Amino acid sequence: MRLTKRGHACVRLESDGATLVIDPGGFSDPEALVGADAVLITHEHPDHFVEERIRAAVESEPGLRVFANRSVGAKLDGLGDRLRVVGEGDTFSVNGVEVAVYGELHAVIHPEIPRITNVGYLVDGALFHPGDALTVPDRQVGTLLLPAHAPWSKTAELIEYVREVRPERVVPVHDGGLSEIGRTMVATLVGGGGPPTRVSYQRVDDGETTQV
């Protein structure tokens, strides 16, 4: 499976016969959904989900299916059978690519800010995108897409999250708010320069592709 980073939290995954896009929000490449078979949305924040962009893609891509949690699904009323609302424990298949859904809530930003629904997606048992949460799947993960920077996170929590998930490799996402200096600092601390995580840390810049 090929992974291409399309900006901030958005990745495009291409396997034989299937193309999936996760979280094509407002900071991602507007062309990320062209030719996709499915779009998977973790939650409703605008850096992960833009309603007009999804509706336009459904209109222009006849084969595109949308998978999203209940709060995003409520905003996409009218898509009929092109939309499937999913939650913790659900599974589905996109042209032979198996996806399992994990998690229920967004991480806490501040105690006075209400938490919203958030789900993560485990794709083909190999790659996990947690959205804006530190959800731990109940199985071994090959590649963990790590939310490297957010209003709700701190580096110590990221290190402990990687230790708990124990993936073979970490690829940082959700880093659109970081400068080059900031991305390097996170890579150094999580990738071996801080407390040991014993995983491979592979930075993939916007537009770059890697195999997973």
Q: CATH code at 131? A: 3.60.15.10
Per-residue pLDDT band for 193 (boundaries 50, 70, 90) equals confident
Helix, strand, coil abundance in the chain, percent, nearest 5: 20, 30, 50
Burial of 78 (0-12, 13-18, 19+ CB in 10 A): exposed
- Distance between CA atoms of residues 94 and 123, nearest Å: 10
Tell me whether residue 83 is in a domain. Answer: yes
User: Total domain count for the chain?
Assistant: 1
Tell me whether residue 101 is in a domain. Answer: yes
How many percent of the chain have pLDDT more than 90? 96
Tell me whether residue 205 is in a domain. Answer: no
Residue 58 has a pLDDT of: 97
113-133 pLDDT, tens digit per residue, is: 999 999 999 999 999 999 999
Tell me whether residue 98 is in a domain. Answer: yes
What domain range is 173 assigned to?
A: 2-194
Q: Which tokens sit at 92?
A: 């589905």
28-58 pLDDT, tens digit per residue, is: 999 999 999 999 999 999 999 999 999 999 9
